[in-house]
Each structure stands twice: as C-alpha cells, then as structure tokens.
Amino acid sequence: MEYQTPRVNGIVTPKSRWPSLLKTPNTAHAPPSFMNIAFDERWIGLHGIGRFAREMGARCPFSALKMTGKPLDLFDPLRLQQRLKEQKPDHFFSPGFNAPFGTPCSFSLTIHDLIHLSIKEEGSALKKAYYAHHLRPAALRAACVFTGSSFSKARIAEWSGLKEDQIVITGYGVDEAFSEKGPSYPHRRPYLLYVGNQKPHKNVDGLIRAFLDAGLKEDFDLLLSGACSPSTQSMLQAFDLEQEVIALGAIAEEMLPGVYRGASALIMPSLYEGFGLPVIEAMASGTPVISSNRTALPEVGGEAALYFDPLDHQEAVEALKAVYDSALMDRMRALGIDRARDFDWNLTAQRITSAIALSG
C-alpha cells in the first residue's frame, strides 16, 4: 500500500495512517461479569511486551494464570494446555505470542510483530520452526489475534492466512507519567536521545554515523538507553566519540519521563518496528521526534514527527540537522503533544475486552 509523503524542510513527513478506531473505540461490548478470563502474567517485564502486559493486567477484568516458567520454553505449550484444563477459564488471553497446544478453552493471543521472520539477525531455525509449526496453527485456532498496528496486521494476515477481521488492532497507550510537566534529566549540555535496545535492526550504529557526519557533537551529546554493544563501543573508540555518545544503562521507569523531557529530540533510526512505543512517550513528554520512515513508525507518529530513510545516510544526516531549526522543533513539539493524546491504555484495554466478548 502506498502512502503520500509530503515534506517539511526536505524531510519526509508521511500523513497519518493510524486507523480511525483510535478516536472511536468500540466500547459497546465487554465480557460478562461472570466470564472468567485467564491472563498470562508471565510476560510482565521491562520490555515492550512487558509494558503492554502490565498495562493490560492492571486494566482488564482478568484472573491470573498462576503458572511459572518462561512462556516461550520448548514444552510450555503442553504445560499451558494442562494448566488451562485444570483452571477451566472461559477464555485465555496472552499478551504475548504464546499459545496452548490444542484448544483446551477459547483463547486469544497477541502477535506484536513478525520481526523474527523479517530480520535475518533476529531469526533462527528454531524460531522459524516455532512460528511455522506452533504459532501459525495456534493463530488459526484462536478466537482472535491482537496486534498493535495496521502495518503488523497486514503482515500477520499475509503470513498466517487469517482473515483481516480475525486480527484486532489494539494500539498502545501512554502512561500519564509521560507529560511535558515535571523535572528534566540533568545533563551537562543539550542532548539527543535514543531509547531501545541495540540489536542490529535498531540501527544504532547508523545513528552514530549520522550524528558524527551532521557535526552535532560540537553542540549536543547523544544519550543511549542500555549498554553499548561491542560494535557500538568499537565505533565510538574509532571515531573518538566516547565523550559525546553516552550509554545510560537501564533507565528506571520513574526516571524515563524526565530523560525524555530533557532531550532536544528523540531519534528513532530503526529498520523495523511493530509499533514504536518511545515515539509516543517522547511526544507526550514534549520532545520532538525524528524517526525512521520504515514499517509502523510513520503510522504511529503521523504528521507529528520528521522522517528519514534509515538506509540513506545523507538523508539521515540532514534529518538530524533539523534540531538546529528551533521554529520547526517547536512546531513538532506542539504536534507531538497533540498526537500523543490519541494513545490511551484504557482504549487499548477496551478493544481487547470488546473483542473477547464478541468472539470468545
């Protein structure tokens, strides 16, 4: 599907592709009060799926599955099947991409993206076998499959053979802690921010090259969440950037809003995202967003971000130079704050419970 890509100051700014359901959620249906929905709380953690799981567990009328072990262990589908037979819920909901063997009860699962099939470095023979021989058949047995974006929905439909009406777009939300009001992270000088891991598809090395060639190190630092990968550390040493590019390590949840607020811009250089939660968290925090134009990112950022082709080095360099255009940054900041209001975890929870009520 092709989308219009108007430009602001030479930088691609795709029109919003976010589904209209953002502002018109279906709240007419909810599970009956007597319906027992088991929830796989094992996914809760300090990562994207973990955040989604925590927010849904707090907002939806679920009961705990009460299982131990990792949801992606080799024998977990059999253990999950047995647990559901013992617990006898009316429906089982997984916030991640695991499912029971067979159909011990009505169930739904969440496939946030197909990165393991789309990015070579993220795939393996074992992962491909899991998707082909367990996840795809499970998706076809499920009452419905949830995902976060229309990009992921189209990709999942193509891969699985599911009809589009069997795949429900939930969207993600923004916690109220992410606001332009509040203290900012104290740093020695202005900084650009990257939030995410440093796997190859995140393109952090490409970001650092663009940061260097844009000449930004004279006026800005580049702060990275997490620890530097070996390749990133080698690059910083080779380019003499160890003072300007700083890895913050794991950022505590309570500190993250302030880190966003203090940034001159969030940079999202990813080659693949099923959604891109940092985009809307930064926007809600009053931070302009400069983002890759790949996969779901333009859909999420809409007209409130500046976009570049992450595989076009010169385009990335020019995009990063936009931080010097204060009028443009002020405009993107205002658009971002407005855009972030469209993303609400309560609406996400309503979409999930409505779909379960209708199909479970």
Mean pLDDT per block of 10 residues along the chain (360 residues) reads 35 42 46 83 90 95 92 95 96 97 97 95 94 97 97 97 95 95 96 94 96 97 93 91 94 95 98 96 98 97 98 98 97 98 96 90
Question: Do 13 and 328 contact (CB within 8 A), yes or no?
Answer: no
Options 3.40.190.10, 3.40.50.2000, 3.40.50.2300, 3.40.50.300; CATH of 191-340: 3.40.50.2000
pLDDT of residue 16: 42
Residue extents of the structural domains in the chain: 31-173+344-359, 191-340
Question: Where do we find the tokens 């929870």?
Answer: 349
Alpha-helical regions (H) of the chain: 48-59, 76-87, 115-118, 125-130, 136-141, 150-160, 204-213, 230-238, 256-262, 277-284, 297-301, 313-321, 326-340, 345-359
Residues contacting 24, CB < 8 A, separation 6+: none
Alpha-carbon torsion (212, 214, 217, 223), positive or negative: negative
Quick check: do 31-173+344-359 and 191-340 share a fold? yes
**Cα dihedral: 219, 225, 228, 231 (round 10):** -80
Integer Cα distance of 8 and 10 in angstroms:
5
pLDDT of residue 9: 39
| CATH of span 31-173+344-359 | 3.40.50.2000
In the structure encoding, which two tokens stand for residue 178, read together? 């992410």
pLDDT of residue 223: 98
In the structure encoding, which two tokens stand for residue 154, read together? 């189209």
Grouping H, G, I as helix, E, B as strand and the rest as coil, residue 38 is strand
Question: Do 207 and 222 contact (CB within 8 A), yes or no?
Answer: yes
Q: Smallest Cα–Cα separation from 167: which of 181, 180, 149?
A: 149
pLDDT of residue 135: 97
